Amino acid sequence: MKRVPAKKSTLLRKSTRSKSKKTAKTPFGRLLLYTLGILFVVTIVGGLYNYRHGLLYFLGFKTDRSTSELSEEERKIEDIRIFEVLSRHDTKLVGFDVSEYQEKIEWEKINTIEEEFPLSFVFIRATAGSNKIDARYKENWKAAKEHYFVRGAYHYYRPNENSIAQADHFIKNVRLRKGDLPPVLDIEKLPKNQSIDSLKVGLRRWLKRVERHYKVKPIIYSGQSYYTDFLKDEFKEYPLWIANYNFFVERIQNDWLLWQFTEKAQISGIKGMVDVNVFNGNKEDLKAITIK
């Protein structure tokens, strides 16, 4: 194959660079570069302004926070986001959820998150599947009441197990009283041995059976993508508790009853990281949905 002479290639590159320099020197070129520069600066400043409270808060007196299971930088970023989200929801209630994975909880130490935002309610895992009882359900359930948290119980649904057996297992182990939150169905996994349609039938059976027993409509907990892709069309009538940890999601949506916005919070009295939730309302709104 005949090669193109190197000299010609060199001349072509020089010509291209010459044209680029010429374009940059034109009034339009300078205006374009100036505009792009301004947009870049505005974006950076806007981002810093948007998270100004969290940055100042963390830099001011949060530099001695323990890093738990995150790196130091990851911990800083998560603390900033938590503070920002809670600051934007200062008229809403804040709560958390726990299970045996948090081990022994020192309930007397639990009061606020980020040393500023009061914790008002807690969801406690009670059961999973058709036979699992959370190892710390009974002690957490009792302690939450003793320490004046509005409490709720949730069931971790296993798609490949019988839905009625799971509902009966929850009912057998969870006694809801006046002032407790409605029961919660936690669905996160896709089935292995059944279709999505069969999964929906099972979920509907669980929800109906539990609703008949407690005389209140259960809450559905799921990730936003999971709910949108598989459940939204058929289960719109149920109160919704959404898990979405996206850093750029800043506010709870109108159709969410609860928003679990982080799984990496730190709360005094609880080892490791904790899920934290925003309730879409105030104390009166929370009281209105409790068991009568």
Neighbours of 192 (CB within 10 A): 7
Asked if 169 and 128 touch (Cβ cutoff 8 Å), the reply is no
Asked if 93 and 279 touch (Cβ cutoff 8 Å), the reply is yes
CA dihedral 288→289→290→292, nearest 10 degrees, is: 70
Per the annotation, the verdict on 188 as an active-site residue is yes
Integer Cα distance of 105 and 100 in angstroms: 9
Q: Tell me which of 188, 229, 255, 285 is the catalytic residue.
A: 188
DSSP, collapsed to helix, strand or coil, labels residue 231 as helix
Domain 92-289 part of CATH 1.20.1600.10: no
Give me the mean pLDDT over the 138-167 stretch.
98
pLDDT in tens, 90-104: 999 999 999 999 999
Q: What tokens does 179 get?
A: 């002032």
pLDDT in tens, 244-254: 999 899 999 99
Where do we find the tokens 């020089």? 14
The pTM for the full model equals 0.78
Q: Tell me which of 79, 97, 114, 180 is the catalytic residue.
A: 97
Neighbours of 65 (CB within 10 A): 15
At 61, the pLDDT band (50, 70, 90 cuts) reads: very low
Flag the least confident range among 40-49, 158-167, 256-265, 279-288: 40-49
Q: Indicate the average pLDDT of the chain.
A: 86
Element (H, E) at 117: strand 117-118
| Residue 266: φ, ψ to 5° | -120, 130
Contacts of 9 (CB under 8 A, 6+ apart): none
- The residue extents of the domains of the chain are 6-49, 92-289
